[in-house]
Amino acid sequence: MELRHLATFKAIADLGGFTKAAEHLGYAQSTVTTHVQALEGEVGAPLFDRLGKKIFLTQTGEQFMPFAIEMLHLYANAKNIYTDSHIPTGTITIAAPESLTVYRLPPILKEYTYLYPQVQLILKPSYSNAEALRLLRTGEHDLVFLLDKEFSEPDLYVEKLVHEPLTLIAPPHLHNNLWSSLLEVITHSTFLSTQQGCSYRKLFDSYLQAHDVVPKASLEFWSIEAIKQSVMCGLGLSILPYFSTAMEMKEKKMAGIVWDNGNSLYTQLAFHNNKWQSVAFKMFLRLVRKHSAVWEKQQI
């Protein structure tokens, strides 16, 4: 089973077609077809289905993909044995939700790329924890950041970095004395929420359901910044992590209180127990822990 065949197989799946894979890899399309046929001969079953002009992995292809990714990663790691003992090199693929990507990770990424310019960092969006962890297990991601309740998985290393308070935010003209009747205020307000799958949205939705409270109207947003701007202009209320609202509340651009219903959320990192930790990866973990110690001191 040749590595170039595995690389071709993954490129087809990633790019969605034989032609795009051929262009990306610098092969003739006939070469790409030959690579796939060789793999299918070794596996003993088709790896791709063609439906119209689209290419899809077969069930066998889906099952084979994690092994292909692992073999490619092992090869890349083996090549870095010598260089890892001197200067960190290679690639680290990271996934994180929007909130952490915008408010937590930039200083880490900036410092890391300055210290280790020969390491390529790839940052991917994480729209749900379940999907991020699935891709961690298949090897698509090296490291995942999560904002969620404390959890553990037998095949994953999970580390809590910092407790993250949540704040209920409102337009600046609403004063804190109104928060004594929180549920009543929500009943007469428009509630602005992040997309479904977000951990703090699920917590607050459960809280409202338990108290049989329904906002006057609800709007779903794709962006935390869009929510904050809408709250500040008077459109409605929302629930967001404190770290994403602290500056605006300090500047009195919005009103806000900490919402504590006994459901603690944490910024956490996770990677596979069997992951080979290169020097580049270890240095990234060290930098994350250094910054997270500062986050703890900046909390409410």
> Does residue 138 sit in the same domain as residue 2?
no
> Does residue 149 sit in the same domain as residue 296?
yes
Q: Please answer whether residues 240 and 165 qualify as being in contact, where contact means their C-beta atoms are separated by less than 8 angstroms.
A: no
- Check pLDDT > 70 for residue 258: yes
> Does residue 98 sit in the same domain as residue 212?
no
Number of domains the chain is built from: 3
Q: How confident is the model at residue 75 (pLDDT cuts 50, 70, 90)?
A: confident
> Does residue 4 sit in the same domain as residue 129?
no
Q: How confident is the model at residue 113 (pLDDT cuts 50, 70, 90)?
A: very high
Q: What is the CATH number of the domain that holds 54?
A: 1.10.10.10
- Check pLDDT > 70 for residue 177: no
> Does residue 5 sit in the same domain as residue 31?
yes
Would you state the pLDDT for residue 189?
86
Whole-prediction pTM value?
A: 0.71
Domain boundary among 79, 97, 131: 79
Q: Highest mean pLDDT: which of 62-71, 102-111, 192-201, 276-285?
A: 102-111
> Does residue 100 sit in the same domain as residue 249?
no
> Mean of the per-residue pLDDT values for the chain?
86
Would you state the pLDDT for residue 180?
65
| Average pLDDT of the segment spanning 131-146 | 90
Would you state the pLDDT for residue 145?
97
| Average pLDDT of the segment spanning 67-79 | 77
> Does residue 69 sit in the same domain as residue 198?
no
Using a pLDDT cut of 70, give the percent of the chain over it: 94
Domain boundary among 79, 108, 124: 79
> Does residue 69 sit in the same domain as residue 128?
no
Annotate the chain with DSSP letters as a single string.
--HHHHHHHHHHHHHTSHHHHHHHHT--HHHHHHHHHHHHHHHTS--EEEETTEEEE-HHHHHHHHHHHHHHHHHHHHHTHHHHTTS--EEEEEEE-HHHHHHTSHHHHHHHHHH-TTEEEEEEE-S-HHHHHHHHHHTS-SEEEEEES----TTEEEEEEEEE-EEEEE-TTS-GGGGGGHHHHHHTSEEEE--TT-HHHHHHHHHHHHTT---SEEEE-S-HHHHHHHHHTTS-EEEEEHHHHHHHHHTTSSEEEEE-SS--EEEEEEEETT----HHHHHHHHHHHHHHHHHHHT--
> Does residue 73 sit in the same domain as residue 101?
no
> Does residue 149 sit in the same domain as residue 16?
no
Q: How confident is the model at residue 245 (pLDDT cuts 50, 70, 90)?
A: very high
Q: How confident is the model at residue 65 (pLDDT cuts 50, 70, 90)?
A: confident
Range of the domain at 127: 84-163+264-300
- Among 119-123, 128-132, 155-159, the minimum mean pLDDT is found in 128-132
Q: Which amino acid is at 227?
A: I
Top-confidence residue, 282 or 70: 282
Would you state the pLDDT for residue 138?
82
